Amino acid sequence: MELIGRCYIAGPFFNDADVAIIREVEDNLSRLGIKFVSPRLETTAPAENLSPYDKKEIWEQIFAINVENVEDCDWMLSTSVSDQGTIFEAGTAFAFGKPILGFLPTPINKLNLMLVCGYNAIACGWDELENALELGEIADNQWEGEIE
């Protein structure tokens, strides 16, 4: 899988640990001059004091922006195999025919078959991701773990 063009970073950013992963990915892409879109930088959650109706409008706008950005990107880097939003974004990228690099910051032994078959490649750990980004490519999916 070639890592060419604009990347969409899919991943949660709901707590400090999530944000640390996304920031590290953003920093690596920036350092290598790879253009990217990160929802963490592009969108803002609605204020708590808004009415449910106003919040729903903002959530719908964020949804539309994220889907449009997925469609406009050249490839996706997905940083979570458990976050519902990330999995939805990966499915959207797959439907748009975008290559997806799955990234497992902490290697695991088992993945769902939809991710194994939907991702073009999987980087296990930071070293493998950084090597792939520096080379601009990663071997097509060679998942050797269990599939569920």
Kindly state whether residue 146 falls inside one of the protein's structural domains: no
Kindly state whether residue 148 falls inside one of the protein's structural domains: no
Choose between 37 and 44: higher pLDDT. 37
Structure-token pair, residue 124: 């296990």
Kindly state whether residue 20 falls inside one of the protein's structural domains: yes
Kindly state whether residue 33 falls inside one of the protein's structural domains: yes
Kindly state whether residue 74 falls inside one of the protein's structural domains: yes
Which structural domain, as residue segments, surrounds residue 128?
Answer: 7-140
Length of the chain: 148
Kindly state whether residue 103 falls inside one of the protein's structural domains: yes
pTM, entire model? 0.92
Q: How many domains does the chain have?
A: 1
Structure-token pair, residue 141: 């999916």
Kindly state whether residue 1 falls inside one of the protein's structural domains: no
- Assign residue 50 the CATH number of its domain: 3.40.50.450
Chain-wide mean pLDDT for the chain? 92
Q: How does DSSP classify residue 124?
A: E
Say which amino acid occupies 5.
G
Cα 146 from Cα 110, distance rounded (Å): 5
Q: Per residue in 77-115, pLDDT tens?
A: 999 999 999 999 999 999 999 999 999 998 899 999 999
